[in-house]
Amino acid sequence: MRTVTIKERSKIDDVIRRCKTCFVASSVDNIPYVLPMTFAIAGDTVILHSGQSGRMWETLHKNPKVCINWTYGGELAWQDVRVGCSYRVKSVSVVVEGTVEFIDSYSEKEQCLKLLMACYSERQFRFNSPAVKNVGIMKVHIDQISAKEFGASSLTSPQK
């Protein structure tokens, strides 16, 4: 089974849209840290939200460089059922390397929250002032994006 690089941005975006969670990795003082997070993507920017304190928040203030992963799929496949090394998981993976920008503007935070919620619901949401003021919003500006497909061409076909 081959690994294929996906170069078309439309296919990469389709993989990202199929995922409900991304994994955000950061590092400070040579100590890596990764968290699953909800997200929105707008062009070359990934939008994340969190509390304005905690390990991730503090880590990103010290080192705003991150790596984000989305993985779709999970079907087990093999070339020879008797050979353990021939097993793999059919999946598609997207990796982004980027730099975090912390958003302080009330109106921009509110717009980001609307984009985030649009990824998970078709409902229209309003946000009260304390909710917007107390949420931490981060925009990750994409420096590099790459994607690979592991063993199954049907995973990058558009959803029906």
Higher pLDDT residue, 86 or 154?
Answer: 86
Q: Is the pLDDT of residue 153 over 70?
A: no
For residues 8 and 93, give the distance between their C-alpha atoms in angstroms, rounded to a whole number: 14
Encode burial over 113-124: b for 16+ CB neighbours within 10 A, e otherwise. beebbeeeeeee
DSSP code, position 62: H
DSSP code, position 27: E
Write out pLDDT tens, residues 120-150: 999 998 999 999 999 999 999 999 999 999 8
Cα dihedral 23→24→27→32 (10° resolution): -10
Q: Is the pLDDT of residue 111 over 60?
A: yes
Reading the block at residue 67, the tokens are 């790596």
Write out pLDDT tens, residues 41-86: 999 999 999 999 999 999 999 999 999 999 988 777 777 788 777 7
State the CB neighbour count (10 A cutoff) for residue 112: 23
Helix (H, G, I), strand (E, B) or coil at 112: helix
What domains can be seen in the chain, in order of their start residue? 3-150 (2.30.110.10)
pLDDT computed for residue 91 by the predictor: 87
Reading the block at residue 124, the tokens are 């229209």
For residues 153 and 160, give the distance between their C-alpha atoms in angstroms, rounded to a whole number: 15
Please state the three-class secondary structure of 63-90 as a single string. Answer: CCEEEEEEEEEEEEEECCCCCHHHEEEE
Cα separations in angstroms, 133 against 22, 113, 114, 128: 24, 12, 14, 9
